[in-house]
Amino acid sequence: MSILKIARMGHPVLLAKAAPVPDPSAPEIRRLIADMAETLLDAGGVGLAAPQVHVPLRVFIWRQAEGMVALVNPVLTALGPETEAAWEGCLSIPGLRGEVPRWRRLHFAGLDADGRAVEGEAEGIAARIMQHETDHLDGILYTMRMADLGRFGFNEELARAAAPAQNPA
């Protein structure tokens, strides 16, 4: 396994639409997911999408209490009209965070790291992370979803202003 270099905002890979993974069980995809997991742990984030490590494929990982989870070729669908705004960070936009409106509840479907079909419902932080990561697969950064650019700033300044911390994704 190896720690991969994370692309930062301004790199074109972060604005491109990623391609579906043709064979999730292929050895190179397993290796990619393992390397992404090591990279995410090293960086101290909660989520990481393949385009963030310069690989334009539709796969992301995130950390749950139970461990690291991968979702390949994800499809998200809103459950209901409710949205909620909360602070987000991004490993590709280091040192900053901003408040982003997201669907509160969603249905997700895709494939796991073994190529098996998975689906379910998520809400709150889990739903937020999945939306943040799926946006990366479509070339969208959280800053492009913000409703109020006044609620965007450097972590250190916002900490003094008592905005809640959020691990980057």
Determine, following the binding rule CB under 5 A, whether residue 96 of this chain makes contact with Ni ion: no
CA 75 to centroid of chain Cα atoms: 14
Minimum separation from the CB atom of position 116 to Ni ion (A): 26
Instruction: Reply yes or no on whether 133 is catalytic.
Output: yes
Containing 158, the helix (H) or strand (E) segment is helix 155-160
CB nearer to Ni ion: give 56 or 115: 56
Minimum separation from the CB atom of position 47 to Ni ion (A): 7
- Which position among 40, 61, 90, 96 is part of the footprint of Ni ion (CB under 5 A)? 90
Which of 80, 60, 81 lies closest to 131, judged by CA? 60
Choosing from 38, 88, 121, 133, which is the catalytic residue?
Answer: 133
How crowded is residue 60: how many other Cβ atoms within 10 Å of its Cβ?
30
Minimum separation from the CB atom of position 117 to Ni ion (A): 25
Question: Sheet of 83-88: strands edge to edge?
Answer: 83-88, 96-103, 152-154
Contact letters for Ni ion, residues 139-168 (x by CB under 5 A): ------------------------------
Rounded to 5 degrees, φ, ψ at 2 are -145, 155
Which range of residues in 2-10, 56-64, 74-82, 87-95 is near Ni ion by CB under 5 A? Answer: 87-95
- Using the Cα atoms of residue 137, residue 125, residue 75 and residue 111 in order, give the sign of their dihedral: positive
CB nearer to Ni ion: give 108 or 119: 108
Q: By the criterion CB under 5 A, which residues form the site for Ni ion?
A: 90, 169
